[in-house]
Structures are given as C-alpha cells and as structure tokens.
C-alpha cells in the first residue's frame, strides 16, 4: 500500500511517498521546500508568510514527490497529514490539501502528530521499532522524552519547562549576533571551540530538582547565564571567544539531554533510544548520545540530518505505522490542533 505524507506545521512544505509492506515501510520519495529565506530577516517565522508559501509550494512539491516515486495520484492508498502541533495557518493549508486529495481519491485520511513523526521517521532508516523504545524529540518547539510502545502508543515522561533546545540555541545565536536560525551556526562554531572552557549551569540536575523533575528539562537559566557571561566580557572590553562560548553552551545542553535520557532508559528498562527533531541535527548531541549510549549498553538510533528537520517522510512514516495497525481514519473535517498533545498520535 502507498501512503502520501504531507507536512506544513512550520516553514517547510514536505511531501513524501512511503510503500507499506507487511513488515516494513520503504521511503520512495521525499521532497521539501522551505520558506526560511523569507523569514530570516525577521528573526523568526512569520505565520502569514509561511501559510502563503505552503499554498504556493503544495502542488509542485506533491507533484515532484509522485514523479520521483514513479507513482500516480490514483495509486495512493492513504493520505497522512500533520494535524498538529504547529502554527495554525500553515497546518490548515496542509490539512485542506490532504482533505481534497482524500476526498478526490476516495482513500482514508490520517491526521497525525508532528512531534511523534520526528521519532517514527527513523523506522524508514533503521527498520521497525522494537516493542518499546525511548524517544528524545528535540526541536524548535519541543524537548520531550517519550516512551513509545508498538510505534503508536505514546507515554510522555517529560518535557522542557521553558525553552526547547533548538529555541535556546536560536536565542543564544541572536545574542551572539548570528543569523537566524542560530542553531546550525552555533553547531559550526562549537566544533572549533573548547567545550570545557566555560562551566555553564546544567538546568534541573541538582538533587532537589532531580527528585521532582528527573525527566524534565530547562534551558532558559542556561541561556541567561550565557547572556550574563557575554555581557560581563563586553563590559570589561574583552573580545568574546565565540567558539568557546558556543562549545561550552552546546556541551551543557547535550550533557543534560543525554544524561537524563539515559537515566530514564535505565529506570524503565528500555534499551533502544530514538533521537529525533530538528535539534538532533546537532553534532555535539549526536556524538555525545552515541558515546554515552554505547557505554550504557543502549542501542541508539538517530536518523540522518535530512530526516531530523521537518519533512514529509516523517508524516508518511507515521501514517504508514497507523495504517498497518488498522487504526480508524480521521474524519474528513479533521480539525488541526496547534497544541496537539504528544500522547495523541492520530486525530
Ligand atoms: P517542532 O518540531 O517542535 O514543531 P520545529 O518544527 O520548528 O518545531 P524543527 O524544524 O524540527 O522545529 O527544528 C528546527 C530547530 O532545530 C531550530 O531551532 C534550529 O535552530 C535547530 N537546529 C537545526 N540544526 C541544528 C544544529 N545543527 N544544531 C543545533 N540546532 C539545530
Ligand atoms: Mg523548520
Ligand atoms: Fe519539527
């Protein structure tokens, strides 16, 4: 069976085709167009601009995905679309396109969860999930620790109490004078810096916080600590060692994310970890997760970078997982939900 997945939760218009067999899902094509260039000068995503770009890109992106997959519209057996969480205007454009296709082709429609898709896309790369996995989803809007059973059953163990990891990177990027989004720029600088140069705080790791927030994260205190440190240097008329600040800041974020995630794997007896979401493109996080999971005897699966940031493959992968389990399709008037709970995989 063939599933078309559509993603429009933020600034990427994504369409992908996945073939679902009895056991595995295979990615046939994945096409992404981004409107990021139009937002960069504003220092953040402008929802109206993103919505309009989705409207313009949707048909070309879907057409290209079908061409690359060498399938026709009429070959499709199901349409999956991001129902949330995300920006309501952009989500609405994707949902409208998905509904039109589902009605026109008379195939089922599945409105699925974007954040869960960030984890499940890994099935296309490394094969079906084992019965129970831990998933660390770190992105522009989320830093969440999920326990996932049979690919579609989600328990939320923890989340960030303030900024998401990617958001913290983008804010620190701004204070260091880097272009938006700052995440990839900090990553690049950090590779040239010394992660031990500055000891920045590790949020929610003190014993008193651990008791209550063992699986929660907090990055806004760290962001403030970086701001203070940079201000102090500027006031003293000293040059800011950008590489060392980036490396030390990145180290603090990756340290907390990996330490807490591995502790949760141990506490729940889970030996497979999936790391996904835009921030999982971060090279320090990828390295640290690989090293620490190897030491802990945990099998860590991180998709290639192109499947970490937003794309249609993640939605097609989750749609295929839902289809394989014969879950009931979404209603044709499916509502988009900008704050869709992570425990809700399907509308
Ligand atoms: P969500 O998935 O929570 O709805 P989103 O879709 O906006 O949020 P993604 O597109 O998944 O987020 O991820 C974008 C984020 O990832 C941005 O904050 C960006 O700075 C960050 N990011 C991308 N590459 C890197 C990198 N190499 N290092 C650090 N951060 C990165
Ligand atoms: Mg994006
Ligand atoms: Fe995302």
3-class SS string, 136-192: EEECCCCEEEEEEECCCEEEEEEEECCCCHHHHHHHHHHHCCCCCCCHHHHHHHHCC
Cα of 227 vs its chain's centroid, Å: 26
Separation CA 315–CA 112 (nearest Å): 7
Structural element, H or E, at residue 32: strand 25-34
Q: What are 209's two structure tokens?
A: 């916080």
114 is in an annotated binding site: yes
Question: Closest by alpha carbon to 6, among 333, 318, 341, 346?
Answer: 318
Structural element, H or E, at residue 327: none
Mean per-residue pLDDT for 339-347? 98
pTM of the model: 0.97
282 is in an annotated binding site: yes
Q: What are 39's two structure tokens?
A: 């937002």
Instruction: Assess whether the C-beta atom of 117 lies below 6 angstroms from ligand 1.
Output: no
Mean per-residue pLDDT for 317-328? 97
Cα of 129 vs its chain's centroid, Å: 17
- Alpha carbon distances (Å) from 204 to 2, 143, 145, 209: 44, 14, 15, 5
Q: Residue 213: what pLDDT? A: 96
Q: Residue 23: what pLDDT? A: 81
Q: Given its phi and psi angles, is residue 151 left (phi above 0), alpha (psi -120 to 50 degrees) or beta?
A: left
Burial letters 101-134, b for 16+ CB under 10 A, else e: bbeebebbbbbbbbbbbbbbbbbbeeeebeebbb
In contact, 345 and 112? CB cutoff 8 Å: yes
* CA-based end-to-end distance of the chain: 21
Q: Residue 32: what pLDDT? A: 98
Residue 327 has pLDDT above 90, yes or no: yes
pLDDT digits (tens, 9 = 90+) for 101-117: 999 999 999 999 999 99
Atom of ligand 1 nearest to the CA of 45: 7
CA 198-204-206 angle, 5° bins: 80
Kindly identify the ligand whose nearest atom is closest to the C-alpha of 141: 1
271 is in an annotated binding site: no
170 is in an annotated binding site: yes
Place of tokens 């295979």: 26
Instruction: Assess whether the C-beta atom of 310 lies below 6 angstroms from ligand 1.
Output: yes
Closest residue to atom 28 of ligand 1, CA basis: 282
* Ligand 1 pocket test target in 39, 121, 166 with most atoms within 8 Å of CB: 166
Mean per-residue pLDDT for 77-91? 98
Give the Å distance between the CA of 269 and the centre of ligand 2: 33
pLDDT digits (tens, 9 = 90+) for 191-238: 999 999 999 999 999 999 999 999 999 999 999 999 999 999 999 999
Give the Å distance between the CA of 231 and the centre of ligand 1: 26
Instruction: Assess whether the C-beta atom of 139 lies below 6 angstroms from ligand 1.
Output: yes
Q: What are 326's two structure tokens?
A: 């014969």
Average pLDDT of the residues of the chain: 97
């Amino acid at each position: 069976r063939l599933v078309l997945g559509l993603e429009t939760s933020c600034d990427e218009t994504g369409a992908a085709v996945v073939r679902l067999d009895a056991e595995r899902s295979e990615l046939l094509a994945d096409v992404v167009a981004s409107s990021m260039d139009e937002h960069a000068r504003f220092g953040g995503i402008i929802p109206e601009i993103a919505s309009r770009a989705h409207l313009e890109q949707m048909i070309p992106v879907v057409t290209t995905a079908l061409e690359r997959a060498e399938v026709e519209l009429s070959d499709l057996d199901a349409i999956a679309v991001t129902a949330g969480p995300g920006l309501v205007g952009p989500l609405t454009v994707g949902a409208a396109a998905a509904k039109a296709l589902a009605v026109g082709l008379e195939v089922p429609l599945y409105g699925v969860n974007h954040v869960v898709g960030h984890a499940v896309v890994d099935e296309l790369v490394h094969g079906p999930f084992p019965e129970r996995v831990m998933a660390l989803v770190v992105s522009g809007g989320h830093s969440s620790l999920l326990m996932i059973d049979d690919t579609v059953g989600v328990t939320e163990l923890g989340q960030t109490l303030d900024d998401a990891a990617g958001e913290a990177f983008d804010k620190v990027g701004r204070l260091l004078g880097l272009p938006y989004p700052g995440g990839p720029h900090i990553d690049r600088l950090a590779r040239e810096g010394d992660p031990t140069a500055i000891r920045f705080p590790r949020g929610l790791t003190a014993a008193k916080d651990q008791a209550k927030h063992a699986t929660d994260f907090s990055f806004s205190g760290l962001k403030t600590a970086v701001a203070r440190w940079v201000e102090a240097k500027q006031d003293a008329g000293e040059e800011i060692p950008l590489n060392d600040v980036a490396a030390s800041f990145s180290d603090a974020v990756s340290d907390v994310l990996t330490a807490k995630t591995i502790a949760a794997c141990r506490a729940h007896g889970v030996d497979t970890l999936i790391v996904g979401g835009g921030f999982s493109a971060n090279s320090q996080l990828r390295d640290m997760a690989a090293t620490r999971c190897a030491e802990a005897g945990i099998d860590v699966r991180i998709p290639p970078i192109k499947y970490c940031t937003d794309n249609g493959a993640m939605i097609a992968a989750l749609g295929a997982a839902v289809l394989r389990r014969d879950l009931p399709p979404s209603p044709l008037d499916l509502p988009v939900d900008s704050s869709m709970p992570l425990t809700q995989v399907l509308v």
